[in-house]
Amino acid sequence: MAKKRHYLLLAVVVILFTFFLYSIGVVILGLALFPGAYFLYQLWIYTVHLSAGLRILYFCFGFVAGYFFSGVMLMLLVSLVRVIFRLKLKEGEFGVGSLEIFKWVFVNAFFMVVKVVFLDLILMTPYCALFYRLMGAKIGRNVLINSKNVGDLSLLEIGDNSAIGGNATIIAHSFEKGGLKLKKVKIGKNVIIGLNSVILPGAGIGDNAVIAAGAVVPKNTQVASNTTFLGAHTTDIS
């Protein structure tokens, strides 16, 4: 009976938490859309004296500019929410219904919004690395990121002059029998993470290492410096 009550209480908490997430999402998306919408409104007013064709052309340009304004605002707002609610993840094992799982869902849910809406347009630019930093990642100088498949950013470290290839997946979490497990991923300096490779929780990659395209670095695997990791074995490149 006590177990049944526990599950019922957990279900209620999950429902309320989901409603809370949606409510925060409405506020964030609404505020993010405001600059773009206001810009379009002003543009439409100030072009009233122009011909219909020219006015529509200006509106099309304004729509694209407004989209970028709103995208930048969305990134800033999501980063601010992370700070306000102190959503910095910590390493460890956490059971179902624990506070850390709710924090993990919270921060990754709002990262997902940016990922779907805007992140594709800033990959391979300094703005992507900046956004990842704002979400808690420790990223060095001159880091090139060409993947939005990166989760648990406050548990990620990337050294100077490293490159993350297209569609590479880097996560610091796993769900196992005991619940959620979180462990840092550390990537050294001058590292190349190849196209479509997968880096799993607890992995450590030494300086000047290369992770081959499509390779999977298993949990807690340590890739030595100056080596190429091919998935099944490593090759010394020093």
Domain residues for the domain of 181 are 125-238
For residue 150, give the DSSP letter: B
pLDDT number for residue 11: 86
- CA distances 216 to 162, 168, 203, 205, Å, are 18, 10, 10, 12
Residue 40 within any structural domain of the chain: no
pLDDT number for residue 135: 97
Residue 105 within any structural domain of the chain: no
Least confident of 108-117, 157-166, 226-235: 226-235
Residue 5 within any structural domain of the chain: no
Q: Tell me the per-residue pLDDT of 73-82, one tens digit each, with 9 for 90 and over.
A: 999 999 999 9
Smallest Cα–Cα separation from 70: which of 116, 121, 33?
33
Can you say whether the dihedral through the CA atoms of 68, 70, 74, 77 is positive or negative?
A: positive
pLDDT number for residue 36: 93
Whether 13 shows a pLDDT value over 90: the answer reads no
Task: Provide the domain count of the chain.
Answer: 1
CATH of the domain at 218: 2.160.10.10
Query: Mean pLDDT in the chain?
Result: 93
Residue 111 within any structural domain of the chain: no
Residue 31 within any structural domain of the chain: no
Least confident of 9-13, 43-47, 227-231: 9-13
* Encoded amino acid at 83, one letter: V
Residue 207 within any structural domain of the chain: yes
Whether 235 shows a pLDDT value over 80: the answer reads no
26 pLDDT band, cuts 50/70/90, is: very high
Residue 63 within any structural domain of the chain: no
14 pLDDT band, cuts 50/70/90, is: confident
CB 107 within 8 A of CB 154: yes
